[in-house]
Amino acid sequence: MRHNLRSFRFSGRFSKDGRALAAQLLRDEGFVFEPLPFYDQAMRLIHEPKPLGSSLAAHFGHIYIQDASSMLPALSLISIIGPGRDKNICVLDMCASPGGKSSLAANELAAGFVLANEPAPKRLNTLRRNLQNLNMFNCAVSSYDAAGFPLNNFPGWDYILLDPPCSGWGTADKAPRTLKLWRGDKLQPLIRLQRKLLAEAWRLLKPGGSLIYSTCTTNVQENEEQALHALEYARGQARLLPLPVPEGFEFDEPCLNLSGVLRVAQTSPLGQGFFIAALQKSASSAAFPAQAPIMPDPAASGAQAKRTLPGGAISPEDLETPLVNTGLLPLGRILPREGKLLFYPEAGLDLLPASFKYSGFCLGGESKAGGAPKMPDTGLRGLMPDPREAREKGAHILNMEDIAGVRKLLGGQSLNIGENSRPMKEVGLYYKDLPLCRLKVKGKRLVM
């Protein structure tokens, strides 16, 4: 019998001590959880005194609630990359919202770049919000029709995640209507769309690159048949990569004698029904197969057009304060765009042509009238040094030991700072050494 388990993962490039601090915050709010065996940052919730999404850990981006099975595509990608995670690897997530796969991949890539693409406008806002809350600085966002990206004469992506729209049969425990809704002729448009997306993914993949194809359905037509179709489409220029079997799940035997893929069973004690396959493009394959559509790119004629960004880049040092360490950003550039300061990872700037429109990570608002830039957004706890380092730099620190105090600030109440001989512009809010955010100073009050 399937167990109703709620899973989540810690988010951020935590040291072992840092993860322990985030775990302590959850425990102090009354949550009880235990580690899952397939990923050192994945947890199973045992006791939930209130909705996990309303926890302080979730609010401040230290955890991300995610079904265990849906962690597997990004973890499969990381297993394929192997020990080369410290390189400038470029990953495209074609249908990215709500951001679980993109953020997990970005979390594990020390110097990589992840472009999270979401065609649906309503889902795009959710994607942006989640990546922002998780402080995924090496993620950027685009919103193209995933069946036809405007990229031509393009070197290709190192890795692609494709989790296309599907029938969702694997989620039937939570949404039983899916089994009735997606049947018979209603499946055919989905299957055709999945094949279009597979063709576009193959076109965009660089020779030698790898594609992770996944669905949350148990339907063989959307799973093994699509993997076989992709192999046939590649005309001998592709192979299936065998995926490691993660601990803790129950797996069904793959259909159609297709070995090396993962089919999470509907009865698995962990996660929902899921399918994952990994395909590698031959190193000798053409970058743009003739049978795939090539979208016109007016900015690229002949060789790839180098992305030339307008001037006015902001020096990271201009944003430094005792509570903001821009040295924690990946290699990249900070550029003013429409009243905001956006961070663009260098790997993406080197890869994408000038005509390709995408948005970097928002660091906050820029100054008016061309003056010095404003400080980065106060919620960027990923740029906050540990409290000891912050104190050594002369920062004002509020290192709370009381959950209720943090809750009051979050609820809109302010705190009296009392008499202080030193002027202050901001105060770092920590909970038992865990960075949460930077507080604003208004008169003699601290506000979130």
Rounded Cα–Cα distance for residues 304 and 354 (Å):
9
> Rounded mean pLDDT of the chain?
88
Is residue 358 within 8 A of residue 142, CB to CB? The reply is yes
pLDDT digits (tens, 9 = 90+) for 131-180: 999 999 999 999 999 999 999 888 999 999 999 999 988 876 776 676 66
Architecture of the domain spanning 6-65: 2-Layer Sandwich (3.30)
For residue 25, the model assigns a pLDDT of 97
Name the residue with tokens 């100073």: 441
DSSP codes joined into one string, 117-137: E---HHHHHHHHHHHHHTT-T
Distances (CA, A) of 113 to 11, 157, 307: 17, 10, 16
For residue 296, the model assigns a pLDDT of 35
Is residue 111 within 8 A of residue 330, CB to CB? The reply is yes
Name every residue whose Cβ is closer than 8 Å to that of residue 254 and which is 6 or more positions away in sequence.
Answer: 224, 261, 263
Rounded Cα–Cα distance for residues 55 and 25 (Å):
9
Domain 6-65 matches domain 69-281 at the CATH topology level: no
Arithmetic mean of pLDDT, 205-220: 96
For residue 365, the model assigns a pLDDT of 80
Q: Give the range among 2-6, 287-291, 347-351, 444-448 with minimum mean pLDDT.
A: 287-291
Rounded Cα–Cα distance for residues 215 and 264 (Å):
10
For residue 373, the model assigns a pLDDT of 57
- Whether pLDDT at 441 is above 60: yes
Active site residue 216: yes
Closest CA to 295 of 130, 153, 141, 191: 153
Plot region of 260 (φ>0 → left; ψ -120 to 50 → alpha; else → beta): left
- For the CA atoms of 5, 253, 260, 219, the dihedral, rounded to the nearest 10 degrees, stands at -70
pTM for this entry: 0.91
Q: What kind and span of H or E run contains 240?
A: strand 238-240
- Whether pLDDT at 2 is above 50: no
CATH 3.40.50.150 fits 69-281, yes or no: yes
Q: Return the domain boundaries, the chain.
A: 6-65, 69-281, 384-447
DSSP codes joined into one string, 19-30: HHHHHHHHHHTT
For residue 45, the model assigns a pLDDT of 96
Written as six digits, the tokens of 14 are 């935590």
Rounded Cα–Cα distance for residues 448 and 445 (Å):
10
- Whether pLDDT at 321 is above 80: yes
Percent of the chain at pLDDT > 70 equals 87
Rounded Cα–Cα distance for residues 388 and 46 (Å):
34
pLDDT digits (tens, 9 = 90+) for 368-391: 655 555 678 999 999 999 999 999
**Annotated active-site residue in 95, 166, 216, 362:** 216
Is residue 73 within 8 A of residue 163, CB to CB? The reply is yes
Written as six digits, the tokens of 420 are 């202080």
- Whether pLDDT at 53 is above 70: yes
DSSP codes joined into one string, 162-191: E------GGGTTT-THHHHHS-GGGHHHHH
